[in-house]
Structure 1
């Protein structure tokens, strides 16, 4: 029970890596707020509550600052404090040459995948500083924040932003006892890949030396590590969990 009595928020917590993270955190004793823009988060909270866990659903668009403010307020109102935040909400991108990338698509990607992380960090850290009891923030970046991929201009830019945002906020908040780190997954078998054919999935899997796609539960384990006291000396780090993709 690494997170006994801790209160955590997971954005994008209704599915994929977010859902796996929620399940892992409650299994370690945390009270969890599932922030999601869809009803999947509500269904997950219902299931967890029936199993005896403390879980709250908040409908949130992470690109809207008012939604993030309300998320923090509802969390503190329900549970009295905030100890852990996992900024996971994000969207994927179909491959598009840079010269064909529409400004609206570019802006949507940055609004959700980068600004959403910034806003979540901003308001969560303000609450943690007010409490004066430290905390842990885990941002979900990507290996695409470290390497480039043709056709993923906006996604690469957004995730690269998350990587350096994590470093900047991490060093700024370390003396307040607030640890800010990021996890950088390789390709994970989530709904983002649902539209891909089995042949394409096989090609993507083969790009990883381990020979397969990642599982959401494997990323959740890394997030748990960063959120727990096991990572007490990690600040501004970007933990790569990619089956060897970026080691090549």
Structure 2
């Protein structure tokens, strides 16, 4: 019960890692606020959690005014905000030449602006509670991928924003860290062709994709007092993918 009497806001909580995090934090005692633009999905997740411990909010995190209103309303309702998990994200495949300006606006709006806006408007309350922020970055923010230029740019921004916010606010008692997953079993990736998933498995030392619950466990650790001296870290949760220097397996 590491989060007993804590209020945790989780964006992108309607499925995948966000849903797994909501379940993990609720199981450890938190009151969880599930924020997502997928109304039916997030309502279903909230309804499946213990009564009174989960509250769904329908929001587009790229809308700064809506995010500010959400944070103020949550703080007014519960009296405090203790954990912000910036997990909402979108992906569009392709090089800069193959993708559109609209594609960039969409990725930047959710994957960068959403993290900035949620952090900006939650921080006044996190400073009061000595709370923390956990961002969902990616191994794609630690190194480049083929055919994912905008996504890599956005997740690289999250990686360095995590470091910068950790420097700015650590002295005030607010820790900021990030998880950097590789392939995770979600509704999106489960629909990929098997040959693509096989290629990922060849590059992951453990030979498989992560379960969402495995990433959620690291999110919960970083948000807990067990990680009280971890600040500004971008933790790979990748089965060993980034342990490689990129050269092929030859034995």
Structure 2: how far apart are the matches of 1:235 and 1:128? Answer: 15
Structure 1: how far apart are the matches of 2:54 and 2:230? Answer: 28
Match in the other structure for 1:24? 24
Question: 1:14, CA displacement in angstroms?
Answer: 1.0
Q: Is the 8 A contact 2:142 2:156 kept in 1?
A: yes
SS of equivalent residue, structure 1 residue 219: helix
**Residue segments in structure 1 that go unaligned for 5+ positions in a row:** none
Using structure 2 for the length normalisation, give the TM-score: 0.94
User: Could you list the runs of 4 or more consecutive aligned residues of structure 1 that deviate by over 4 angstroms after TM superposition?
Assistant: none
Q: Which moved more, 1:109-118 or 1:99-108?
A: 99-108
Question: 1:227, CA displacement in angstroms?
Answer: 0.4
SS of equivalent residue, structure 2 residue 188: helix
1:11 matches 2:11: yes
Q: Deviations over 1:63-119 (max 9, x none)?
A: 00112112212312321110001000001222x232222111112111111111111
Structure 2: how far apart are the matches of 1:156 and 1:204? Answer: 17
Structure 2: how far apart are the matches of 1:44 and 1:98? Answer: 36
Q: Is the 8 A contact 1:92 1:192 kept in 2?
A: no
Match in the other structure for 2:37? 37
Q: Is the 8 A contact 2:80 2:129 kept in 1?
A: no
Match in the other structure for 1:144? 140
Structure 1: how far apart are the matches of 2:84 and 2:122? Answer: 7
SS of equivalent residue, structure 1 residue 89: coil
Q: Is the 8 A contact 2:9 2:35 kept in 1?
A: yes
Q: Is the 8 A contact 2:162 2:177 kept in 1?
A: yes
**Residue segments in structure 2 that go unaligned for 5+ positions in a row:** 245-251
Q: Deviations over 1:189-223 (max 9, x none)?
A: 11221441122222222220110001100000000
Question: 1:52, CA displacement in angstroms?
Answer: 3.8
Q: Is the 8 A contact 1:26 1:53 kept in 2?
A: no
Match in the other structure for 1:184? 180
Match in the other structure for 2:62? 63
Q: Which moved more, 1:38-47 or 1:16-25?
A: 38-47
How many pairs align?
243
Q: Deviations over 1:143-195 (max 9, x none)?
A: 00011111110000000000000000111001111101111011101122144
Match in the other structure for 2:230? 234
Match in the other structure for 1:196? 192
Using structure 1 for the length normalisation, give the TM-score: 0.95
Question: 1:42, CA displacement in angstroms?
Answer: 1.0
